[in-house]
Amino acid sequence: FAPHPATRRATFLAAPHRGSPLADRWYSRIAHRLAGHRADEMQSLRRIARAHPDAIQPALRQGFQAASINSISTLQEAQPVRRANESLLPAPGIAYHTIAGRRAGARPEGDGVVPLASALLPDAASTSIVDAGHDLYSSPEVVAEVLRILRDDIASARLARSTHDEPQ
């Protein structure tokens, strides 16, 4: 996998990079069953896994053959697709910012859905932890931080263009 060439920056809001313990709860198992397994991509993976099982890593084979991977199951800490996804982040050369919530009394510490240990990535260009739940996107503090990141990106792009355009 390679990042899109136009991508220079990423901002993660309450992102469960290392999963969420809620994905293993009984109600999440029900949601997993109700969530669609008919996505075109999943059905394509299912056909490949059934026709060429040796082409699929053993840890992924059963999930692909049963088309049982979806947005709920990939939040389980031990899920192989989630672990593989974690190994891809962050892409080299792409600056990234993390905004995570910390709700009072949440155990484990975090926004009540995503633990801080899952939301935070090392070497971020900036990390903001706000007093909020998982709906932190509605917080004025978070909106202000996203705007700051976007303005910094625009300023950096302008500076890079003006430096590039100067005669040598």
pLDDT digits (tens, 9 = 90+) for 132-142: 999 999 999 99
Rg (CA), the chain: 19
pLDDT at 125: 94
Please state, in angstroms and as integers, the Cα–Cα distance from residue 25 to each residue in 18, 30, 35, 60, 132, following that order: 16, 9, 15, 22, 22
pLDDT at 138: 95
Tokens of 129: 């932890």
Which range has highest mean pLDDT (64-68, 84-88, 133-137)?
133-137
Residue 11, beta-bridge partner list: 97
Rounded average pLDDT over 14-23: 83
Rounded average pLDDT over 51-70: 77
Q: CB neighbours of 84 closer than 8 A, spacing ≥ 6?
A: 60
Tell me the pLDDT band of 100, cut-offs 50, 70 and 90.
very high
Give the CA angle between residues 63, 66, 68 to the nearest 5°. 60
The rounded mean pLDDT for the chain is: 83
Rounded average pLDDT over 44-54: 84
Tell me the pLDDT band of 91, cut-offs 50, 70 and 90.
confident
Query: Is the pLDDT score of 6 beyond 90?
Result: no
Residue 130, beta-bridge partner list: 101
